[in-house]
Structure 1
Amino acid sequence: MQVVGYRARVDEHAALRLAEDGRVTTERLDPGTEMAYALGERHCAGAVDGDDHYACDNEPAPYCPEHTDIWPCARCTGQCAKPLDACDEEHAVYLAAFAPDTVKVGVTRSWRLETRLREQGADRAAHLRTVADGRIARQVEADIAADLGDRVRVPTKVAGLDQSVDEDWWAALCRDYDPLSTFDFEYGLDLTERPMAETLATGTVRGTKGRVAVLENAGSVYAVDLRRLVGYELTDGGTDRDLQSSLGAFG
């Protein structure tokens, strides 16, 4: 059995996508779910078409070059010929904030705004502008990114999982950019200390935030980047690796 994908909790439950013998199943990551998988070899996750899986033994993971999709919008700054049909849809320009005081600018199709923010695990967000198409949105984004940046890496998000957004910092940012609307998201993690970053699939699910799952294992709490699980072969029985324990595990 191999991890071939994941789903952040938005309208549906967060989940891992698992493949075995050419078929894909979904393992939900609801709070309270018990997971007991050991990680084996990691290799390309292949391709998924609906519930069908096409395996790939190439070594690069999570995907080899043959199975890596190149998204033309990844580094677009609006100097393009709008290569995708979606480029002609109405877009929103937004700020996504992560506790305690990290922010990025981003764009998405207007109808996906709240979904996109939850996919990223944003704590707060601000809808800055609505524009006619993706090219204009990318131009606006590039201008704002020169001051605020346009990406936040997972380790930075994990570092703030046990914290709240700095209210004074966020209020000042909103005054500077005068948003059309703002968002305040809750993920129900209720953490009293920062979880330790780890790649594992054994423990009790405390919850998820974007692509990060929080697992409790032997009294310690771990933050797992779900994308880092993609490509691993899984076996039943739980991990037998020595894991770093939090101070709370000895209380």
Structure 2
Amino acid sequence: MQIVGYEPSARGPALLLSEGDRENEGGVADENGSGSGDGSDERARALETGVRRRPLEPGDRLSYTLGARHCAGTIDGETHHPCDRPATPYCEYHTSTWVCARCTGTCLKDEMDCHEEHAVYLAAFAPDTFKVGVTKRWRLETRLREQGADRGAHIHTVSNGRIARELEAKIASQRGLTDRVRTAAKLESLTPDVAEPAWEALLAEFDVHEAFSFDYGLELDTQPVVETVASGTVVGVKGRLLVLERGGTNYGVDMRDLVGYELAVDDESGGSNRRLQSSLGAFE
């Protein structure tokens, strides 16, 4: 069993598990991720496995030990095409690049295809990391939740993605805002409150169409210890950040860092043989 993907908080958080047992007999997936490299269609079909969605609801108990890690392959609907290449979370054949994320108004595709309403938005990550972003208008709230934003504000609606990216780049340059927030900063935002005066001052510079405030139900008193684990009681999920409690300590896990790991189910106690750092609160 392998972790082959995840779903963030916006879509009902879950880990995506491949039920395969890696009976690849030393072969690797071909360049399309569907075979062992020997050209056998029958072999490719034999390697395909089902994908199971493992929900992550508060109070759920995870009892997995992380084993070897390798490329997570690809998912096509409910079918997983495995790959044994060592690069993680994806090898060069299974790494996809969304060129629109790099766009600043000059289309990077052969033909522009973003001809629908787009929203330009601001997002706040506690305490005082503010970003400007772009998404399709109908996905605005979902996009904010996917990122784990604490606050959001819709500031422009435009007719296509090219105009939206131009505005995004202009605002980022003029206001000194970032257009992306690293996971490390998001981990730091799990406990503090948003610096409201700074956020309100930023919003005052724009004509806000709609404002959002999100509560992910974590209610943490101390900053979680950053670890890559899949064992413990689910406290909650914020974006792609999973918080697990174990032995009196909360652990913050970037779910992307779990993708590619082979899993073994722990014993009934739910214990893992991995040595983990504990917070000071665990000894009080």
TM class by shorter chain equals over 0.9
Tell me which residue corresponds to 1:163: 192
Tell me which residue corresponds to 1:235: 264
Tell me which residue corresponds to 1:52: 79
Is 1:24–1:51's contact at 8 Å kept on the other side of the alignment? yes
Is 1:82–1:134's contact at 8 Å kept on the other side of the alignment? no
For residues 86 and 28 of structure 1, the distance between their equivalents in structure 2, rounded to whole angstroms, comes to 34
* Runs of 4+ residues over 6 Å off in structure 1: none
Cα separation, partners in 2 of 1:84 and 1:228, compared to 1, 3 Å: farther
What value does the CA root-mean-square deviation take over the aligned residues? 1.3
Identity %: 56
Is 2:128–2:194's contact at 8 Å kept on the other side of the alignment? yes
What is the DSSP-based 3-state SS (H/G/I as helix, E as strand, rest coil) of the residue aligned with 1:65? coil
Tell me which residue corresponds to 2:37: none
Tell me which residue corresponds to 1:5: 5
Question: Residue deviations 1:165-213, cap 9 Å, x none?
Answer: 0111111011122322211111000000111111000000000000001
Task: Please identify, of 78-87 and 195-204, the stretch whose mean Cα deviation from structure 2 is larger.
Answer: 78-87
Letter in 1 for 2:133: G
Tell me which residue corresponds to 2:116: 89
Cα separation, partners in 2 of 1:105 and 1:213, compared to 1, 3 Å: same
Q: Which residue of 230, 242, 245 maps to 1:216?
A: 245
Cα separation, partners in 2 of 1:130 and 1:83, compared to 1, 3 Å: farther
Describe how 1:59-208 pairs up with structure 2 within 5 A.
59-80=86-107, 87-146=114-173, 147-208=176-237
**Per residue, is there more strand in 1 or in 2?**
1
Tell me which residue corresponds to 1:17: 16
Residue 81 of structure 1, CA deviation: 6.1
Residue 239 of structure 1, CA deviation: 2.3
**TM-score when scaled to structure 2?**
0.86
For residues 113 and 194 of structure 2, the distance between their equivalents in structure 1, rounded to whole angstroms, comes to 33
Cα separation, partners in 2 of 1:189 and 1:83, compared to 1, 3 Å: farther
Question: Residue deviations 1:135-194, cap 9 Å, x none?
Answer: 000000111122201011111011121111011111101112232221111100000011
Gaps of 5+ in 2: 21-48
What is the DSSP-based 3-state SS (H/G/I as helix, E as strand, rest coil) of the residue aligned with 2:187? helix
For residues 154 and 86 of structure 1, the distance between their equivalents in structure 2, rounded to whole angstroms, comes to 30
**TM-score when scaled to structure 1?**
0.97
What is the DSSP-based 3-state SS (H/G/I as helix, E as strand, rest coil) of the residue aligned with 2:86? coil
Q: Give the number of the structure whose alpha-carbon radius of gyration is greater.
A: 2
Number of aligned pairs?
250
